[in-house]
Amino acid sequence: MARPESPCLSIAIARLRTAGANHFATWVLQAPYPSGYVHHDCMWPHTLSQSWKAWQEMFSPSGTIHELPLNPDGSFVSPENSQNILAEIEKRSPHSLHLAPPTPSVPLHLGQGGWVDRGREEQNPPPPPASYSSRLMQQLGINLWQWLFEGPIQGSLQESKGIAIGQNLPLRVRVDLREPYLIALPWEIMQPQAGQPAISLSQQLLFSRTTSNVEPLPPLRPAESLNILLVLGQAEPGGGANSQSSKGNNGHLQLEAESLALAAVLESAFQTDDSGKYFDISVPTRVDTLIEPTPAELISRLETQAYNILFYAGHGIPGPDGGLLFLGPDTAINGTELAQVLVRCRVTLAVFNACWGAQPAVERLHSTNGQQQAIARSSLAEVLIHHGVPAVLGMRDSIADREALSFIQTFARALAGRMSVDRAVAVARQQLLTLYKFNQPAWTLPVLYMHPEFDGQLTEPVDDLKTELPLNSSTWLGRLPSCAYLRGRDRPNAKSTESANQVWSIRAGMVRVGRWEENDVVIREQWVSQKHAEIFCRNSIGDNRGEPSYFLRDFSRYGTLVLGPEGWQRVHHQELLLRSGTQLKFGSSQGQIFDFTIEVPKTSGYSETDCGTN
């Protein structure tokens, strides 16, 4: 029986256009219980804007400061007067909303009145202590949590968590940010209070972002392997990944070394034990690499090979259509173009090691004062999700090579271990926090977007795997497993031929028979019980007979008919030893006849193909 899907709580955030500029609405888009669909109106506090700015000045790896569209009094600029954003904002933050060279952060002091600028007090301030940066990281996380999970939204979260705990499943929490300026905020660091884990690190919550008005997903089947296309694009503007400038500069992405390391991690995920006979539950993986391909080469590779994961490492820039990926010198593809081929080729997960993949593009509104605004649904992640890619992983800001490699290695191992995408991201994020510390931005950088209809499962979960013996293995104290079959015969005047001439292999020594779909052998006859019977192999120590012992155990209402020397005999709530060649009818003498056959392997070269299972 398939494991139930984890309950999901999806929350949307949007700015109200008819109320004051600081008025926002939060409401539940999806909840695991009917009364969980609640709505809440709230104000955006000026203290949260101050906390966000202070956080960026401390933790922005690229030195970028994403300014919120605020008036001098701290209120949001309303849509009606957005053309009148004062030049004071530009004067306060001349590098707002665009990438700038890294600049020294201005140290702040946490006083009774809030965050105090000490830049004028100390000409060359020392680095802030770790306790200060940890408090700053924690404070913004608490502020974001308290703002979002307030009033009825908090009640819906608590009820949903209780339902998930009752089902012994994690709760998926997804946030739909419909105000472009809020996308830059690190919602992944939200935490309810000091001493508790951030929402993206929790064991009970699986956090991701999502977006609305998306194309529906086609039916997705769990993949039997991870087929990854690793694309190494241009490392920097004006230089290829293999150019001399790229090779001689350690500050650029080490694409070739990263691709080799990633391929080694993924390809080693499918392990055997020392004897080489027993495979674990990991997924077989295949990694193909393209270095600076043309768009035609990329599209051709995606169309001719069955990839389910795309990994891109290289340079890019944001734009209204999802930005540009620089595949090579003078060669680029935009997000919309890439989305078309990814959806057509059924790629399930796209991963981008680029600093802009989860950020929206901006446009200049005023030519004199430099006024800019974020463009709605323009980030690469959102564009791909809107077109129908199930999951996209990008970076909120620039990430160091060693941090990116650590994240990808742990993320790949988690996927190979059959974890869902959101669970694998959480595990890899925990690894970043452990290696690079809580008061550093590395663990806050990965941003996962998931399609509202996607459950995050790339491969079949561990709990859903069938209990099977490995190939070419001996069992039961060195005895080779036998092969047994149940074969359905044609029945004259039958209305259904579903089970006629069909053969079921009794794999792992057990087969269940009945009318329920959960059975191995499903017989749709009215006299067959939902859970009718089972046939199993019983081997005991000291049993030296050549033929294994198979038994029929009946659970049904009307019993099972077995053909013996004296004709058909009924077995009802009993066990009966079965011999090879025995004929069976389940429930009624008018039922279909099934032949039971045993084959004993003669050599040690046994495999499942000897049982007829291809």
Looking at residue 217, the DSSP 8-state letter turns out to be: P
| pLDDT score for 66 | 78
Pairing of strands 560-564, 567-571: antiparallel
0.75 cut: is pTM over it? no
Q: How far apart are CA 54 and CA 138, in angstroms?
A: 12
Alpha helices (H) in 356-451, listed in sequence order: 380-387, 401-416, 421-436
The amino acid present at 239, given as its one-letter code, is: G
Phi, psi of 84 (to 5 degrees): -110, 25
CB 304 within 8 A of CB 224: no
Pairing of strands 594-599, 583-586: antiparallel
Looking at residue 322, the DSSP 8-state letter turns out to be: S
| pLDDT score for 241 | 40
Which secondary structure element, helix H or strand E, spans residue 260, and what is its range? helix 255-267
Mean pLDDT value across residues 210-228: 86
Looking at residue 23, the DSSP 8-state letter turns out to be: E
Query: What residues have CB less than 8 Å from 512, skipping those under 6 apart?
Result: 518, 519, 520, 521, 531, 533, 534
Q: How far apart are CA 204 and CA 192, in angstroms?
A: 13
Q: How far apart are CA 280 and CA 416, in angstroms?
A: 11
Closest C-alpha to 561, from 531, 529, 591, 584: 584
Query: What is the torsion angle, in degrees rounded to the nearest 10, for the CA atoms of residue 120, residue 123, residue 129 and residue 131?
Result: 0
- Two tokens, residue 52: 């966000």
For 543, the 3-state DSSP assignment is coil
Mean pLDDT value across residues 334-357: 90
Judged by average pLDDT, the poorest of 17-21, 127-131, 466-470 is 466-470
Q: pLDDT tens across 405-461, in order?
A: 889 889 988 998 889 999 999 999 999 999 999 999 999 999 999 999 999 999 887
Q: How confident is the model at residue 394 (pLDDT cuts 50, 70, 90)?
A: very high
Q: pLDDT tens across 544-580, in order?
A: 555 678 999 999 999 999 999 889 999 999 999 999 9
| pLDDT score for 398 | 85
pLDDT at 33 over 90: yes
Pairing of strands 575-578, 567-571: unpaired
The sign one gets for the Cα dihedral 507, 512, 514, 515 is negative
CA atoms within 13 A on the CB side of 46: 9
Mean pLDDT value across residues 143-151: 96
